[in-house]
Structure 1
Amino acid sequence: MTTLAAVAANFTRDLEQNYALIASLVDEARDRNVDFLVFPEAAIGGYLSSLGNHGDTVRNSDRSLPPAISLDGAEIRRVQEIVGDLVVAIGFCEIDKDGETRYNAAAVLDGTQIYGSYRKVHQPLGENMSYSAGAEYGVFDTPVGRVGLQICYDKAFPEAARSMALDGAEIIASLSAWPAARTATAENLQDDRWTYRFNLFDMARALDNQVFWVSSNQSGTFGSLRYVGNAKVVDPGGNILATTELGSGMAVAEVDIAVTFQAMRGGMFHLRDRRPDVYTALTDLDHGGAWQGLAHA
Structure 2
Amino acid sequence: MSVLDVVALQLAAEPGNVAGNVERLLAAVRAHGPGSDLVVTPELVTTGYDLDMFDERGADLAEPLDGPTVSAVAKEAAQLGTTIVLGILERDGDALYDTAAVVLPDGSVYPFRKTHLYPAELTRFSAGEALLTVDTPAARIGPLICFEHAFPELATTLALAGTQTLVIPSAVPIGYEYLLTLRTRARAQDNQMFAVACNLTGNGFTGHSLIVDPAGKVLASAGAEETALRARLDLDLITRERDQEPALGMRQADLYRPDAVNRLGVVTAGDK
TM range (shorter): 0.7 to 0.9
Equivalent residue in structure 1 for 2:244, among 262, 267, 273: 267
After TM superposition, the structure 1 = structure 2 runs for residues 189-268 of structure 1, keeping only pairs within 5 Å, are 192=175, 194-221=176-203, 226-257=204-235, 259-268=236-245
Q: Which amino acid aligns with 2:164?
A: E
User: How far does residue 135 in structure 1 lie from its aligned partner after superposition?
Assistant: 1.5
User: How far does residue 56 in structure 1 lie from its aligned partner after superposition?
Assistant: 3.6
What secondary structure is seen at the aligned counterpart in 2 of 1:172?
strand
Query: Do 2:85 and 2:103's aligned partners in 1 also have CA atoms closer than 8 Å?
Result: yes
Matched residue, 2:24? 21
For 2:170 and 2:259, how far apart are their aligned partners in 1? Answer: 27
Aligned length: 257
After superposing on structure 2, the runs of 4+ consecutive aligned residues of structure 1 that deviate more than 6 Å are 282-285
TM normalised by structure 1 equals 0.81
User: How far does residue 282 in structure 1 lie from its aligned partner after superposition?
Assistant: 6.9
Query: Do 1:35 and 1:86's aligned partners in 2 also have CA atoms closer than 8 Å?
Result: yes
For 1:86 and 1:93, how far apart are their aligned partners in 2? Answer: 22
Equivalent residue in structure 2 for 1:43, among 42, 45, 52: 45
Matched residue, 1:95? 91
Identity of paired residues, percent? 29
For 1:284 and 1:15, how far apart are their aligned partners in 2? Answer: 49
Q: What RMSD over aligned residues (CA atoms) do the two structures have, in Å?
A: 2.0
Q: Which runs of 5+ in 2 are unaligned?
A: 263-272
Cα separation, partners in 2 of 1:28 and 1:75, compared to 1, 3 Å: closer
What secondary structure is seen at the aligned counterpart in 2 of 1:126?
helix
For 2:147 and 2:118, how far apart are their aligned partners in 1? Answer: 7
For 1:114 and 1:178, how far apart are their aligned partners in 2? Answer: 29
After TM superposition, the structure 1 = structure 2 runs for residues 1-297 of structure 1, keeping only pairs within 5 Å, are 1-12=3-14, 13-31=16-34, 33-48=35-50, 50=51, 55-56=52-53, 61-63=55-57, 67-84=61-78, 85-96=81-92, 99-180=93-174, 192=175, 194-221=176-203, 226-257=204-235, 259-281=236-258
User: How far does residue 107 in structure 1 lie from its aligned partner after superposition?
Assistant: 1.1
For 2:33 and 2:64, how far apart are their aligned partners in 1? Answer: 27
What secondary structure is seen at the aligned counterpart in 2 of 1:27?
helix
User: How far does residue 247 in structure 1 lie from its aligned partner after superposition?
Assistant: 1.7
TM normalised by structure 2 equals 0.88
